[in-house]
Amino acid sequence: MDVMGLFSGLTQGFSAYKAAVETLDEAKISAATNELTVQLAQVGAHVFAMHEKATQAADREATALARIRDLEEQVRELEKRNRDFSRYDLVEDYPGTFTLRIKEVARNGEPLHYLCPSCRDNKAVKSILQFQDSKKRLAGCPACKTQYRFQDEPARKPRPPLTTVGSMRR
């Protein structure tokens, strides 16, 4: 609305008010007041509804931003875990026994070691296998208790036959 239209509307409103006051018609004044009160109540309800929607939108935005931050943190954690697991190769050091061995170029001063592939795949855990003896024939996973064979057991020497009581010398 332009300034002239606004001025014209105000002039007409003032003229109507002046005419109502001059006629002192209480019924017209009361009806106009009631109509104005209804319109103000509707405007107030509309403003309240808009405020409520804006508050809900702000809450949804805050929830979405928190979720985004959580997902970004999960992505960073998964990328870090993936970088760490990429330092290992799947190897078969013994027929049918698969483990994850650290790559030579990725050791960075760490000793040669193996990871449990089951714990890595199923639990996303880096569980270092522990050898059972100094000959490194068997290794066990401390997390899932799976045993991994790395070497054959040495051949056993046959035992000498047992002697009977009657054939023993005194």
Q: Where does the pLDDT of residue 132 fall: very low under 50, low under 70, confident under 90, or very high at 90 and above?
A: confident
Pick the range with the lowest mean pLDDT from 12-21, 25-34, 62-71, 143-152.
12-21
- 148 forms bridges with which residues in the sheet? 139
Residues 39 and 36: their CA atoms lie apart, in Å, by: 5
Tens digits of per-residue pLDDT, 43-52? 788 888 889 9
Global pTM value: 0.53
SS (H, E, C) 20-79: HHHHCCHHHHHHHHHHHHHHHHHHHHHHHHHHHHHHHHHHHHHHHHHHHHHHHHHHHHHH
pLDDT value for 6: 47
Residues 5 and 144: their CA atoms lie apart, in Å, by: 83
pLDDT value for 42: 79
